[in-house]
Chain A
Amino acid sequence: MLDILEPGTDNSRLVVGIDLGTTNSLVAYITPQGQAQVLADAAGKTTLPSVVSYRADGLVNVGAELPEALATIHSAKRYMGRGHDFTVGGVQVSPIEVSAHILRTLKRRAEQHLGQDVFEAVITVPAYFDDAQRQATKDAAKLAGLNVLRLLPEPTAAAVAYGLDKKVQGSFLVYDLGGGTFDVSVLKLVDGVFQVLATVGDTQLGGDDIDTLIAKQLRCSAMVARKIKEILTIAPLGEVDGYSLSREALNGLTLPLVEKTLNICDRALADAGLKADELDGVILVGGQTRMPFIREAVEKHLGHKPLTDLNPDEIVAVGAALQADNLTRGKCAEFLLLDVNPLSLGLETMGGLVEKIIPRNTPIPITKAAEFTTYQDGQTAIKIHVVQGEREMVNDCRSLATFTLRGIPPLKAGEAKVQVVFALDGDGILMVRAKDLTTGVEQQVEVKPTYGVSEEQMVQMLKDSLTFAAQDVQTRKLAEARLELERSILAAMTLTTSLTNSIGLRLLLPRLWPNGWRRCYSTRW
C-alpha cells in the first residue's frame, strides 16, 4: 500500500527550518515543488542579526540596535542553559527570552512569506550543546509559539544539505566554525541514511573570539575588529577608523585558535575510527570558515580540498528545512538521520566521582538501565544526580539534573532494588523512568533540571510574553502614530512658515491634535 501525499495540500503541516545562530539567524522552508528557499526580509536580506535591542518605552527590536536603546543583547546563544541572565533597565532578562524574540521575528517572517500560520519548526543547535542548552533552546521556541519537531545538530544539517543537493556519498567531516561555537562531526552517507559516527566540539569557541583577539591587539572596539577581519578575508591589509592590521598578523593571532580546532578534528576522527585519508570529503560551514587562513589550515591538515560550493551562511538553515519537510512525511520520508549523543552521561557516586552510564558518541535514541539500592535501614527515598561531560569528577562535569526516587518500601539497607531507565531521545534530551523491582511498581521521578526552566517559570514567561505581545501591538501602533504625527508636523511647519512667524508651532499643534500632543510629548520621541 502506498501513502500518496499530494504536494502542497497538507497545509496544516507546514514546518520551517530555523538556524538560530550566535551572530545571525535564518529561516528556510521547502516549497511544494521541493525547492529549498531561504526567506528574506523586506530588504531582501536572508540573515537576521541575532541582536535584540530594548528601549525604555518597551519597544523591542530584533536585528539591529535601536537608537537610545536601554540595552542591546548580542550573542545570547553563548549564555543559553548557563543560568546567566542579562539586565535590561534593572529587569532580569534570560537568554531564553532573548532567543524567543529572534525566533518570533523569524516565525513572523515565514508567516508573511507563506501567508499562513507557522506552528512547527526544526531548529538547529551546535552538535556539542549539552542537555541544558538544548532544553533552553526548546523553551525559547515554546515561548515564541513554536513547537520543536526536532533539534538538529548544525553540522548534521549542513551534511544533509550537501548530501541531498550534491548527491555525495561516503564519509565526510564537517568543520563548523560559527560566531560563538565550534563543532566537528564525522558522518557516513549511504543510500539516504546519514549516520553520524562522531561529534566533538567546543561551545565557547568561535569567530567572536577572533574579534576579541584583534580588539585586544589593536586596542579597538569589537565592532572595528570585526570589520577589519571581514576586510582581511578578501584583502591583504585591513584598515578601519585609523586601525590597521595585515592578513599575516591576523593569521599569527588566529593560529592558536585554529590549532585548537584541528585537534578537535583529530579527536572526532579517532572517535569515528577513521583516518583523514579515509574521508571522501570535508565540508566547511559557518561564516568564519570564509577566512582564507582557516581554509588553508583545514586543507593542509586533513589533506582534502574543502567543499565550499554551498553558501556557508545559509546551508544550515537549508538542512533544517529539508529535515523539517522530511519529518512530516513519516514512512514516506526521503532520508533518515542517525545521530549520536555528543557528551557522556554519568551519575554521581560516592566521593564526588562520576560513573559513566552512556558514553559519548553513542547512537541515539539510547536507553540504559541501572539498579539502585538503599544504604540505610528503612530508607524510602534515593536521590540521584545526573551529570554530563567527559571528566572523572562531578565538579568538572556539567550538572544536568537531580532525581528523587520516592515511595520505596522501608526495608533493610541494600534490600530494596530500584531500576532506573535513562533514555536519550532523538533530540538528545534525557528522560527517566524508574521501577521498584521488589514490588514491580513504577516509581515517580521528580526531575529538577539544574539550569533549565521549571514549568511554573515557563508559565510565567509565557504570560509575560503575552503581555509583551499586547505591548508589542501597542508599541507598533504608537510608532505608527508617531510617524503619522511627524508627517503632519512637517506639513504643519511648512504651512506655518508660509503663514506668519508670530504663530508658534506649540500654539497651533494642540488645537490640531488635542490629545496627541500631550501623549507624544510625555513619551519623549
Chain B
Amino acid sequence: MINFFALLGLAETFAVDLKQLEVKYFNAQREFHPDRVGNSFEAMQQGANLNEAYATLKDPFKRACHLLQLQGIDALQDGPNPYTTPQLLQESFMMREALAEANDVSVIKADHAMRTAATLEKIAQAAETQAWTEMAQAVVTLKFLNTFAGEIARHA
C-alpha cells in the first residue's frame, strides 16, 4: 500500500493544513504529470497515485481511514466489525426512529451536524494520542453519520 502522506511529503498526522496539502499536490503534479514527463503507462500510474493521494488526504473521513490502514487497521471491514460499538448501534437506531417521525427535519439536521463535529473532534484527539481502537470506532461512527446524511436528504 502507498503511504499518501509520504508520497506528497507531508507529516503522518490527522491534522492537515488543506492549503499546504494543495501546494504540495500541485508541486508534485508539476513534477510528475504525464504532460511534463511523457505519456507512458507508468507516468499515468504516478499521476493517478498523486490524484488519489490528494483526494484521500483532503477528505477527513478518507484521511482517517488511510491513517488507520497505515497502522494495519481496516476500520470498515466487511462482516462482524470489531469497531462497531453497541453504543453506536443503539444511537443509530434512535436517530433513524427520530427521522422517521420528524415533522421538522431542521432539528434532525442540526443534531447531525453537532454529532459530526463531535466525532471529527474525537478522531483528531484519538489520532494525536495514537489511540487507534478509539479512532477506528469513531471512524465507524462517522461512516454511519455520512450514510445518515443521505437518508436525511431523501427524507426532506
Q: Name A's B-contacting residues (CB within 8 A).
A: 150, 190-191, 193, 195, 326-327, 330-331, 333, 336-338, 362-367, 423, 425-426, 431, 433
Q: In the assembled complex, how far is the CB of residue B84 from the closest CB belonging to chain A, in whole angstroms?
A: 25
Is B55 a contact partner of A336 (Cβ separation < 8 A)? Answer: no
A425 and B44 contacting across the interface, CB-CB below 8 Å = yes
A320 to B6: give the CA distance in the assembly, Å. 35
Which B residues are CB-close (under 8 A) to A336?
A: 26, 29-30, 33, 35-36
By beta carbon, the residue of chain A nearest B54 is: A363
Which residues of B are found within 8 Å of A331, using beta-carbon distances?
36-37
Q: Are B26 and A190 in contact (CB under 8 A)?
A: yes
Q: Which residues of B contact A423 (CB under 8 A)?
A: 41, 44-45, 48
Q: Are B26 and A191 in contact (CB under 8 A)?
A: yes
A195's nearest neighbour on chain B, judged by CB, is B26
User: Which residues of A have CB within 8 Å of B44?
Assistant: 365, 367, 423, 425-426, 431
Q: What CA separation (Å) do A337 and B35 show in the bound complex?
A: 9
Interchain CB contact under 8 A, B35 and A426? yes
In the complex, are the beta carbons of B35 and A193 less than 8 A apart?
no
| Shortest CB distance A428–B (Å) | 12
B41 — which chain A residues lie within 8 A by C-beta? 423, 431, 433
A333-B36 contact in complex given A190-B26, A193-B29, A423-B41, C-beta closer than 8 Å: yes
Given A423-B48, A425-B44, A365 contacting B36 (CB threshold 8 A):
no
Q: Which of B13-66 contact A (CB under 8 A)?
A: 22, 26, 29-30, 33-37, 39, 41, 44-45, 47-48, 51-52, 54-55
C-alpha gap A289/B45 in the complex (Å): 39
Report how many A-B pairs have Cβ atoms within 8 Å. 57
The smallest C-beta distance from B127 to any residue of chain A, in angstroms, reads: 24
| CA–CA, A193 and B28, complex, Å | 12
A150 to B54, CA, bound (A): 24
Known: A333-B36, A426-B39. Is A193-B51 also a contact (CB below 8 A)? Answer: no
Q: What are 15 of the A-B contact pairs (CB < 8 Å)? A: A191-B26, A193-B29, A330-B36, A331-B37, A336-B29, A336-B35, A336-B36, A365-B44, A423-B41, A423-B48, A425-B39, A426-B34, A426-B44, A431-B41, A431-B44
Shortest Cβ gap from A191 to chain B (Å) = 7
A47 to B80, CA, bound (A): 65
Write the nearest CB–CB distance from B49 to chain A, whole angstroms: 8
Interface footprint category on B:
10 to 19
What distance in Å separates the Cβ of B21 from its nearest Cβ neighbour in chain A?
13
* Pairwise interchain contact A333-B26, C-beta atoms closer than 8 A: no
Residues from chain B with Cβ under 8 Å of A364 in the complex: 51
The minimal Cβ–Cβ distance linking B143 to chain A, given in whole angstroms, is: 18
The answer to whether B36 and A338 touch across the interface, beta carbons within 8 angstroms, is no
Q: Decide: A365 and B29 in contact? CB cutoff 8 A.
A: no
CA distance A190 to B44 in the complex (A): 23
The one of A191, A195, A326, A425 that contacts B34, using a Cβ cutoff of 8 Å: A425
Cβ B35 vs Cβ A363 within 8 A: no
Q: Which residues of A contact B35 (CB under 8 A)?
A: 150, 326-327, 333, 336-337, 426
Minimal beta-carbon separation of B111 from chain A (angstroms): 23
Question: In the assembled complex, how far is the CB of residue A466 from the closest CB belonging to chain B, in whole angstroms?
Answer: 28
Neighbouring A residues of B48 by C-beta, 8 Å: 365-367, 423
Within 8 A of A (CB), among B53-103: 54-55
Which residues from B are CB-within-8-Å of A190? 22, 26
B36–A366 contact, CB under 8 A? no
B55 contact set on A, CB distance < 8 A: 362-363
Tell me which residues across on chain B come within 8 A of A338, comparing CB atoms.
Answer: 29, 33
Q: Which residues of B contact A193 (CB under 8 A)?
A: 26, 29-30
Task: Taking A150-B35, A190-B22, A338-B33 as given, write out 11 further A-B residue pairs in contact, using a Cβ cutoff of 8 Å, ordered by the A residue number.
Answer: A191-B26, A330-B36, A333-B35, A336-B26, A336-B30, A363-B51, A363-B54, A363-B55, A426-B35, A426-B47, A433-B41
User: Bound complex: CA of A331 vs CA of B29, how far in Å?
Assistant: 11
Whose C-beta in chain B lies nearest to the C-beta of A188? B22
Across the A-B interface, the 6 shortest Cβ-Cβ residue pairs = A363-B51, A367-B48, A365-B44, A365-B47, A193-B26, A366-B48
* Complex alpha-carbon distance, A81 and B55, angstroms: 32
Kindly state the separation between the CA atoms of A431 and B41 in the bound complex, as whole angstroms: 9
Q: With A and B bound together, what is the CA distance between A190 and B18 in angstroms?
A: 14
